[in-house]
Amino acid sequence: MNVAAGRGGFVVIYRWRLKPGFEADFIANWQRITDAARAEGSGGSSLFRAEDGSYVAIARWPSRAARKAFFDRFDARADAQGAAMQARAEAAVLERLPALEMDALIDDWALEEIV
Domains and CATH numbers, the chain: 10-97 (3.30.70.100)
**Whole-angstrom Cα Rg for the chain:** 15
pLDDT at 6: 43
Q: What is the DSSP letter of 105?
A: S
Please state, as a whole number, how many other Cβ atoms lie within 10 Å of the Cβ of residue 59.
21
Entry pTM: 0.81
Cβ atoms within 10 Å, residue 29 = 19
pLDDT in tens, 55-107: 999 999 999 999 999 888 877 566 776 677 778 888 999 999 999 999 988 87
**Given this model, what pLDDT does residue 34 score?**
92
Give the model's pLDDT for residue 66: 93
Residue 23's pLDDT is 94
Q: Containing H/E element for 50? A: none
Q: Burial code of 8-26, b = ≥16 C-beta within 10 A, e = fewer?
A: bbbbbebbbebeeebeebb
